[in-house]
Amino acid sequence: MKIALINENSQASKNAMILNSLKKVVEPMGHEVFNYGMYTAEDECQLTYVQVGILAAVLLNSKAADYVITGCGTGEGAMLACNSFPGVICGHVEDPLDAYTFAQINDGNAIAIPFAKGFGWGGDLNLEYIFEKLYVEESGQGYPRERAVPEQRNKKILDEVKKHTYTDLVTILKNLDRELVKGALSGEKFREYFFENCKDEQIAECVKEILQ
C-alpha cells in the first residue's frame, strides 16, 4: 500500500515526528510512505487545511496513493476538506480505538488527526498505536464481526451515494480557483512522487496544465 502523509501549515513543525512514527509502524508491514509535506513551518509551499483536501483528493482519485494520513490542529478542518471531494472517505481519529473502528466499520481511505488539541506528552506513542490499529487487519471486516454484513452493505451504499453527489475530480479542479489548486500541488516532492505513481491519465494531464 502507498501511504501519503500530508501536513498543513499550523502543524508543519511536527512533520518529521509524525513521519517517523508512521514509518516505524507501517514499513515492517510492507507499506510504502510518501511524505508530501509540509516539511517545516518555513516551507515555501504553505498548505491550508482546504488545500490538504485538494491534494488528498488528487492523490487518492489518481491512485498515486492508496491511503492518506493528514490532520490539522483539531483534525476537524482537514477531515471536512477531505470529505468535500469524491473518492475520499476521511475519518476523524484521536486514538487507537477510533482508528480500528473507522478501518473496520467505515473502510475509508484517509484519516485526519488532531495534532494540537490534546497532543501532549506521549503524543508520538499515541500516533504509533493509532497507525498500528489502523493497519493491523484488512479494513472493512466489520466490528463487531457479527455486524460485518450490514456494515459492508452500508459502505457500498455510501460509495454509491458519493458517485451521485459529486462531479468528477477533473471538472472540480478546473472550476476551483487556479491559484488555490496550484498552491496545493506545489510541494517540494509533489511532482516527483505524483507523476511516478499516478495511474489516471486524465488527472495527470489536468495537474500538468494547472502546474504550467
Residues of the chain with pLDDT under 50: none
Q: What is the pLDDT of residue 66?
A: 98
List, for residues 163-180, the tens digit of each pLDDT value.
999 999 999 999 999 999
| Whole-number Å distance between alpha carbons of 75 and 59 | 19
CB 61 within 8 A of CB 171: no
DSSP symbols for 191-202? HHHHHHH---HH
Q: Which of 201, 212, 162, 198 is nearest to 55 (CA)?
A: 198
CB 72 within 8 A of CB 88: no
Q: What is the pLDDT of residue 176?
A: 98
Q: What is the pLDDT of residue 23?
A: 98
* CA dihedral angle for residue 82, residue 204, residue 69, residue 153, rounded to 10 degrees: 60
List, for residues 38-49, the tens digit of each pLDDT value.
999 999 999 999
| Whole-number Å distance between alpha carbons of 132 and 129 | 5
Strand order from edge to edge, sheet including 67-72: 32-35, 2-5, 67-72, 110-114, 90-92
Look at residue 114 and give its three-state secondary structure: strand
Q: Return the domain boundaries, the chain.
A: 2-211
- pLDDT averaged over the chain? 97
Map grid coordinates 511536527 to a residue: 14
Q: b vs e for 67-85, b when ≥16 Cβ sit within 10 Å of the residue's Cβ?
A: bbbbbbbbbebbbbbbbbb
Q: What is the pLDDT of residue 205?
A: 98
Q: What is the pLDDT of residue 153?
A: 97
For 188, list phi and psi in degrees, rounded to 5. -55, -40
CATH class of 2-211: alpha beta
